[in-house]
Structures are given as structure tokens and as C-alpha cells.
Chains A and B, each alone.
Chain A
Amino acid sequence: MIRFLFWRLVRIVLSVIAVSLITFLLLQAAPGNFADIQRVTSGATQLTPSQAQEAIGQFQTRYGPQVPMWKQYLRFMQGAIRWDFGPSYKYPNLTVQHIIAMAFPVSASLALMAVAIAVLIAVPLGVIAAVRQNTWIDYSTMFLVTSGRALPSYLFAIVLILIFSRALHWLPTSGWPGVKQTIMPVAALALPSIAIMARYIRTSMLETLRQDYIVTARAKGGGFSAVVMRHALRNSLIPFITIVGPYLAALMTGTVFIESIFAIPGLGLYFAQAAAARDMPLLMGATIFFALILMVANLLVDIAYRLLDPRIGFGPTGGR
């Protein structure tokens, strides 16, 4: 267990270094350098002239053209270790870690709500489809599921807006935060998620239902629903958490298009705007943060999986 954790943490650290290095080198290839005055001053309208001068001076000494590239990277990473990414270019009166702390909870709560709703709908859907395998219920559910999986959440968002905002005038399309403003973004994120999860639950259930212990439980006189709920579903949910965890993490970082449509100030939207403004510290900081979220989620899922299913150990072969 300790060994397992140690090696996984080593891998996470190495991956963060690799991700940051790739991002840094790519951004170096972009036109202009890290401390391009133009870029720094793009956010300077929010500052008084003397503050702007000071900010530019700070960037010059930190990432100025006379500072060699490797030194800029090391400087950035020195700060990153202490969770200090320095000020953003676009919002020079905010530090990157401040923006993350402000915007990430927005994205994360959207993703959490969407995944929670998706699980609540997808699990019964998948179970029904599996139990009624090869009936019209199964076929029509799976047809809807396959179709839903093919469409990105932003298309669902547009359809929802057309129905609930334009036709029915029930829900507003902007004005985050608010309860009414949350319904459509969360629904748009949940719909493709339901499709992905229901399909997975069905496959996993079908596999479990074929197991000998289910047949035994049935043969011993266990009622059908009792066997399905108590024996089959519980064991089918174990592999299910291995996809929900990373999926949740991916959704937390992937709400950007929904945030853009509904004007929600989440981290994804900040990232996209940072890219347009070439806001290097924010891009670097957000990328490292997102990669960390994904890796930590994977690690947690792996640990949970091993705890729930003791057949998989923490040994060297279990590391993958």
C-alpha cells in the first residue's frame, strides 16, 4: 500500500513536470516572448499608471527578455511548488492561484451536479436495459444512449435554450449565479453523461448477471429483484466507480463550452480567454492544476477500487 502510493506519487510529480514543460515550450514557440509588454499591458487598464509601471517592472525581472528561457521556467516552477503562480497578465491585480480558487469551484459544482443527476438516471436505466436484455426496452434505451453519446453537451445546450428560453420563456440563458440559471447548463452536461454511464452499467450488469453466484442465489430461491439489487447491482457498481471518478474530473475541466454558452465564470472559460490573450502564467497555472485534478482523481479511484475489490492488490502488478 505504502509502496503503491509512493510510486504513484512519484509518477504524478513526474507527469506534472512533463506537462508543465510541454506547455512552457509550446508557449515559447508562440509569437512574442513570455513578458511581452503588450501582453502585460493588455490588462493594465484595470490599474493606475504607477501600478501598471510596477507590474511591468515585476514581469520584466521575472520573465524579461534578458532572462534565459530555462531560468524563466525554473522561476515559474519554484513558485508553482509553493502554489504561487504569480499575477495573471490579463488580470494583473489578481494572482493565478486566486483566479483558480475563485473560478474552479464554479466549474466543479457544475460538474458535480451534472454527474450526480446523471448517475441517478443512468443506473436505473442501465439496470433495466440489462435485466430486460434483447427486449424492446433494451433496444430503445440503447438506441437513445448510443445517440446521446454521439452529441457534445453544447448541442444539447442549444436545443435546451431553443425549447426552454425561446419557445417557453421559462429559463434565462445568462445571469449566473442563480437556481434558474443552473438548470440548463447542468442538464446539458448531464445528458451525454447519462448516455455514457447507462451503457457502461448495462454492460457491467450483464456480465455480473452471468456469474455463477447470481445463478446460485436465484437457484436458492432468491427473488429476482432482491438478487438484482442486493447481489448483482452492488458488484456492478465497483467497476462503475472507476469510470465515474475520472469522468467527473474530466467534466470539471471540460465545462468550458457550456460556460462559454451560458456566460458562467468557470475556470474553463478563464482558460479559453487566457489563451486568446496569451496570458502565460494563467495558462501554465490552469494546465498544471487541471492535470493534477485528473491524476489525483485517477489515484483516488484506484485506491477505492482496491479497497472495494480485495482481489486486486496493491502489488507491483496492480500498479497499472
Chain B
Amino acid sequence: MATVNARPAATGQQAARSPKALSQRARAWRRFRRNRLAAVSLVFIAALALAAILAPLIAPYNYATTDYTAVRLPTGSAGHLLGTDQIGRDVLSRLIYSLRTAMIIAVGAETVAMLLAIAIGMTAGYIGGRVDQGLMALTDILYVFPSYLLIIILVTVFGRNPVSIFVAIGISSWVGTARLVRAEVLRLRVREFVEAGQAMGASGWTICIRYILPNAVGPLLVSLSFGIPGAIIAEAGLALLGLGVQPPTPSWGSMIQEGIQWIFVAPHMIVWPTGLFAVTMLAFTWVGDGLRDAFDPRE
């Protein structure tokens, strides 16, 4: 379906030149792959995602299994590759399971944020007029609502389970993307292929979902690649304040929050989650930059 939808844009731009001309997206993908740092980062992220899904198979222990005979073992101990924490839980296993938390939070929060952003941005941009003014006023208000305050309030209200945490993060992070979607709609709405669709009697819904949205994929992907690490950073921040996912479920934030209390006695407890967290954030940034350069080669 996606290829069918992409066709109007391609026809307008370069398909006329040669029958074998690549679509805009294929060219972007080619440019992206040529950026070695971005490509390696993407592979790394895919490996982390795989590890998250397969966590029960890979992790040597359960994330909640305590062993009071082996507390705060250092990295490299027998049976505990990365050591154990203050109540004898295996750090490596907790690290692997914390990938799951990060993934649930990131996927959930971005799903919520993207759905809100697309729905509100498209409605505002396509209908325009008073609806546009009203929705933009709403985004203005949320813009001055300090986002972490809103997250904290929402988590207080709805509890500390993963779903309410990602909903809270999603609700407080869609505004920028919604403005982006609106701008894309305003840009694309006046193009010939949209007019052609309208002339053929396509409904507003069809125009938005099947004509405009596929052509706004580039900016949305870029925004996604910055939104995912943003959501993970937000969850870890909540955990630092004692408002993250309920223990014993591990997350990078909760491991850091526990580790910081033992930073002088057992630094391995904080070094590993901090390191993996940092490397993952960097990987997402490099992917994001690669995507931006690929979709917008002018910069």
C-alpha cells in the first residue's frame, strides 16, 4: 500500500525523468546507509531491541531474584559477569530486562505522542480557520506548561505503572511534532497531486491519510528518532525522583537511582546502566542526524 501511496509524489517530481528513477524515500535510504556512524547506530539499536524482546532467554537470572549471600559483588565475579547489586540481584540480568522497560516506555510514549500530533496537526492544517486557531491556542498553552511538571503531575494522578508513565510522557511531548505536521500539511495541501485527488472526489480523510501523510514521513521519522531517546530520558528522570516504574522492575533510571547511593562502595552498580544509557542515547542521536541529512540533503 505504501508504494501505491508514494506514487503521486514521485510522478510530480522525478519519475518523468527516467522510468527507473528511485522514489524520494529510496534515495533517502541510500543516503542514510552511506553515513557509516548512523548505519552502525541503527544496527546497535536493533540489537538492543532484539535483546529486549529475548530478555528471558538471554538473561542469566531473573531481574528480581535476590541473593543475600552475594551482595554488591564487583564486576567480573564468578557467575555474575557484571556483579550484583545491594540485595544480590544480577546486574547484567537487570540491565537486559531494563531494555524492555526502556522499549515499552519509548514505543508507548511515541505511539501516544505521534497519534496525538498527527491527529491534531492534520486537523488544524487541513481544516484551518477557527479549528486551526483553537488547536494552535491549545498547543501554545501546553508549550508554556513545563513538560516535566506535566509528566510528574500526570504520573501522580494515574500511578506509576508503565502504561500511565508512557501515556504521561506521550501527552506532554506531542506539541512540537503537531506543529511540524501542521506545517507539512499546509505545505502539501496546495500541491497538484492533492488537488488531483480532491478533483477525483477523495474525502478529506483519504487526502490526509493516503496523500499527505506518506509524504510527511521524513520529518516524522526524524522527530521520532529524537522523541524516543527523549521518552527514555524522561522515564529515567522520573525514576531518579522516585516516580519511575515500580520496583523490582528494572529501568536505567531506577538502577541509576539505586546505584547513586552506593556510588562510593560499589560503583559498578551505576557505571553499567549509565554507560549503556549514554551509548544508546548517542546511537539514537546519530541515527536522527543521519535521517535528517538523508531526507534534507541541503543542510
* A contacts, CB < 8 Å to B: 11, 15, 18-19, 22-23, 26-27, 29-30, 146-147, 149-152, 154-155, 158-159, 161-162, 165-166, 173, 250, 253-254, 256-257, 260-261, 271-272, 275-276, 278, 283, 286-287, 290-291, 294-295, 298
Q: Is the CB of B144 within 8 A of A294?
A: yes
Q: Is the CB of B153 within 8 A of A19?
A: no
Contact with A along B210-250 (1 / 0, CB 8 A): 00000000000000000001000100110011110000000
Asked if B285 CB lies within 8 Å of chain A CBs, one says yes
Asked if B260 CB lies within 8 Å of chain A CBs, one says yes
C-alpha spacing A269/B68, complex, angstroms: 33
A256 partner, pick from B233, B241, B267, beta carbons under 8 A: B241
Nearest first, the 6 A-B pairs at minimum CB distance are A150-B285, A272-B241, A30-B157, A18-B141, A275-B156, A275-B152
Given contacts A151-B281, A166-B267, contact A271 B152 (CB under 8 A): yes
C-alpha spacing A5/B230, complex, angstroms: 34
* B contacts, CB < 8 Å to A: 140-141, 144-146, 148-149, 152-157, 229, 233, 236-237, 240-243, 256, 260, 263-264, 267, 270-271, 274, 277-278, 281-282, 284-286, 289
C-alpha spacing A260/B244, complex, angstroms: 14
Q: Is the CB of A261 within 8 A of B243?
A: no
Which of chain A's residues have a CB closer than 8 A to the CB of B284?
150
Given contacts A26-B157, A158-B256, contact A261 B240 (CB under 8 A): yes
B153 partner, pick from A27, A147, A173, beta carbons under 8 A: A27
Which of chain A's residues have a CB closer than 8 A to the CB of B148?
253-254, 256
Given contacts A15-B140, A254-B148, contact A26 B289 (CB under 8 A): no
Q: Is the CB of A154 within 8 A of B145?
A: no
Nearest opposing residue in chain A for B252, CB measure: A155
| Chain B, interface SS category | helix
Minimum distance in angstroms from B94 CB to a CB of chain A: 17
Which of chain B's residues have a CB closer than 8 A to the CB of A152?
233, 236-237, 281
Minimum distance in angstroms from B107 CB to a CB of chain A: 19
Q: Is the CB of B274 within 8 A of A158?
A: yes
CB<8 Å pairs between A and B, sample of 25 = A15-B144, A18-B141, A22-B141, A23-B153, A26-B153, A27-B153, A27-B156, A166-B264, A166-B267, A256-B241, A260-B240, A260-B241, A261-B240, A261-B260, A272-B152, A275-B152, A275-B243, A278-B156, A283-B153, A283-B156, A286-B149, A287-B145, A287-B146, A290-B149, A291-B145
Which of chain B's residues have a CB closer than 8 A to the CB of A29?
157
A151 partner, pick from B141, B157, B267, B278, beta carbons under 8 A: B278
Nearest opposing residue in chain A for B157, CB measure: A30
Q: Is the CB of B229 within 8 A of A291?
A: no
C-alpha spacing A275/B236, complex, angstroms: 17
Which of chain A's residues have a CB closer than 8 A to the CB of B282?
147, 150-151
Which of chain B's residues have a CB closer than 8 A to the CB of A19?
141, 144-145
Nearest opposing residue in chain B for A21, CB measure: B141
C-alpha spacing A250/B237, complex, angstroms: 16
Which of chain A's residues have a CB closer than 8 A to the CB of B271?
162
C-alpha spacing A256/B146, complex, angstroms: 12
- 17 more A-B residue pairs beyond the given contacts A27-B157, A283-B153, A291-B146, with a C-beta to C-beta distance below 8 A: A15-B141, A26-B153, A29-B157, A30-B156, A146-B285, A147-B282, A147-B285, A150-B281, A154-B237, A158-B260, A161-B260, A162-B267, A165-B263, A261-B260, A275-B243, A287-B153, A291-B145
Which of chain A's residues have a CB closer than 8 A to the CB of B274?
155, 158-159
C-alpha spacing A291/B140, complex, angstroms: 12
Central interface residue in B152, B256, B270, by most chain A CB within 10 Å:
B152
A290 partner, pick from B146, B155, B241, B278, beta carbons under 8 A: B146
Which of chain B's residues have a CB closer than 8 A to the CB of A290?
146, 149
